[in-house]
Amino acid sequence: MTLKTLTFLSAFGLALPGLAMAATELDTNGDGLLTLDEVQAVLPETTAESFSAMDTNADGALDADEVSVAQDAGLMPKG
């Protein structure tokens, strides 16, 4: 993982304390996944690289398991 990615992920965990709690509100199309566009609507500094670091299955979206793993790792705040 690059320093840039680690820096983003650290900032991501601190940037919006309500992000995890509001995950369902972020899911604007209601499909149960968070896309880069949905995350960038709240965190415009999110890059494709940093999003990919959380998108462990590389499907282009964060599912509940990926959000949970990111939360457990301290990369996203818990709800």
The region of weakest confidence among 21-30, 32-41, 47-56 is 21-30
Q: Is residue 13 part of a domain?
A: yes
Do the domain assignments include residue 39?
A: yes
Domain annotation covers residue 78: no
Comparing C-alpha atoms, which of 48, 53, 54, 1 is closest to residue 23?
Answer: 54
Query: For residues 56 and 66, what is the distance between their CA atoms, to the nearest angstrom?
Result: 7
Total structural domains in the chain?
Answer: 1
Instruction: Write the CATH number for 56.
Output: 1.10.238
Reduce the DSSP state of residue 73 to 3 states and report it: coil
Q: Assess contact for 54 and 10: CB atoms under 8 A.
A: no
Q: What is the pTM of this model?
A: 0.66
- pLDDT tens per residue, range 60-69: 999 989 978 8
Range of the domain at 59: 3-72
